[in-house]
Structure 1
Amino acid sequence: MASWEDVRRIALSLPETGERPSYDALPAWTVRNKSFVWERPLRRGDLDALGPAAPDGPILGVRVADLGVKEALLADDPARYLATPHLDGHPIVLVPLDRIDVDELTELIVEAWYARAPKRLAAAHRAETAPPAT
């Protein structure tokens, strides 16, 4: 099970990432002022839409590369990745932190960062972290 400290540690390990309050004064992590992950509690409309399947506990909002990635995540593991009508048309998934392990969380956050980072910054980071050629 992942925690907010895991989210913070992973997000802040990425280049040019900062933490600031979101619209609801909850933590959000940004790269060059573009949010890529944030705390996103379920709202009344979300709870109504999800019904009895609505998780309780901390929820992470995650920006993904595009709607195709969103649909793939939702289809792959609907217990782990959620969306609500409010997010229709937006490349965003919701993730209950108690349903994801730290390794998968790391992959998700890094990919969210790549989706929002400027192309040159993302390319430089990929080059720095690529395994050595054999």
Structure 2
Amino acid sequence: MAATSDDVRVIALALPEATERPAWDMACLRVRDKVFASMPPAEEWVAIRLAPGENAELAAERPEVFSVPHHYRNSSMVVVQLAAVDRSELAELLTEAWRLRAPARLRAAFGTPAR
């Protein structure tokens, strides 16, 4: 089943200390004010921060789901088409993005360190 923008919010905001605060005309999901994901107003996709290089790998493997637009080429963000991804994979990606941005103590309280 395809994921939705509601799934993005439910999954992300269930993570410890995750909040939503807009910036750049986008809904930005943050942990301790560090952005780990963002969605544009149309909410057809979500950009998720991954480990360096992981975004390009996903985009090369599954271009129907993942892409790295020009404005993200120098970052580790990957654009995920919500209609093409299922909720469980979305949850894995958002959780990993949260872990990469959360401070060590918060990650430890959550139960697992970042990779």
User: What TM-score do you get using the length of structure 1 for normalisation?
Assistant: 0.76
Pairing partner for 1:59 from 45, 51, 55:
45
* Total equivalences in the alignment: 111
Divergent runs of 4+, >3 A = none
Structure number with bigger Rg: 1
Deviation larger for 70-79 or 27-36 = 70-79
SS at match of 1:30: strand
In the alignment, which of 63, 68, 78 is matched to residue 78 of structure 1? Answer: 63
Letter in 1 for 2:110: H
Identity %: 40
Q: Does 1:12 align with 2:2?
A: no
Q: Where does structure 1 lack aligned partners over 5 or more consecutive residues?
A: 43-56, 128-134
| Unpaired stretches in structure 2, ≥5 consecutive residues | none
Q: Deviations over 1:67-121 (max 9, x none)?
A: x211221222111110112111200000111011101110011011011111221
Greater helix proportion: 1
For residues 29-85 of structure 1, the C-alpha deviation after alignment (integer angstroms, 9 at most, x for no partner) is: 10000111111369xxxxxxxxxxxxxx7111111121x211221222111110112
The structure with more strand, counted as a fraction of residues: 2
CA contact (8 A) 1:2 1:102 kept: yes
The answer to whether the Cα contact below 8 Å between 2:27 and 2:41 also exists between their aligned partners in 1 is: no
Q: CA contact under 8 A between 1:41 and 1:59: conserved in structure 2?
A: no
Could you say which residue in structure 2 is the equivalent of 1:40?
Answer: 40
